[in-house]
Amino acid sequence: MANSPQIEFLPEPGMDVRQLFILLHGVGGTPDSLLPLAEAVRAAFPTAAVLIPEGFEPFDGGGAGRQWFSVRGVTEENRPARVAAALPALAAYVQQAQQRFGLLQSDTALAGFSQGAIMALELVQAHDGMAGRVMAFSGRYAELPKTAPRYTTLHLLHGSADPVMDVALIQAAQTRLDELHGDSTIDVATGLGHELHPALIQRAIVRLQTCVPLRSWEAALGLDQSPPDGTTVH
């Protein structure tokens, strides 16, 4: 299944689609690179539709890969504008998929690797609650958030030895989210580099299966505050 423009997996015939997962590859990548993650999601959530679109632009580094935004000449100063320009097309794609399956935003999860993780994080930053969950592998924010999403739970997963996106970037993001009373978790795998490693995939599945969203915890207790330790309950 080489260089497919989009890959999708649906539940077995006769099963209703109850969840939607949209997986976003890294810069210069293709949907095929996310097949291990897709297979793990399918095994854990058999009633889910799993969609893996290709980046909406040809990779300007050459080859058959795709990108969500250009990294040619990218800087800390111009990255936010590039991401913002790429978000409307992704938002439209997500909304169309939700309409196709008749699912709510809360039934939707986004997962991204590297540049795909940037897109997933920034999409729910711009459109709070467009997805109920985000799994950001080896990613970062285009710029640290000034507010935290209220209706999206964020799962940040990273390798401690990542040479492309330093782990300090995502740790700083987690610190900021904590300060903003955000609903997020972070898992850092010792010794791993910039890769979608099976250990991180498995940890993401555990997070999805066991973490109770902060908003649900507060609603159940009739509170508008965080748990005593300020983290997601799991």
| Domain assignments of the chain as residue spans, ordered by start | 6-221
162 is catalytic: yes
Of the listed 25, 162, 184, 197, which one is catalytic?
Answer: 162
The pTM score is 0.90
Mean pLDDT of 13-37: 96
Q: 6-221: which CATH number, 3.30.2130.30, 3.40.50.700, 3.40.50.1820, 3.30.9.10? A: 3.40.50.1820
Of the listed 33, 107, 114, 184, which one is catalytic?
Answer: 114
Mean pLDDT of 72-95: 97
155 is catalytic: no
114 is catalytic: yes
Mean pLDDT of 111-116: 98
Of the listed 166, 178, 194, 226, which one is catalytic?
Answer: 194
Give 61's pLDDT tier (boundaries 50, 70, 90).
confident
Q: Are 31 and 8 spatial neighbours (Cβ–Cβ below 8 Å)?
A: no
pLDDT of 131 over the 70 cut: yes
* % of the chain at pLDDT higher than 90: 85
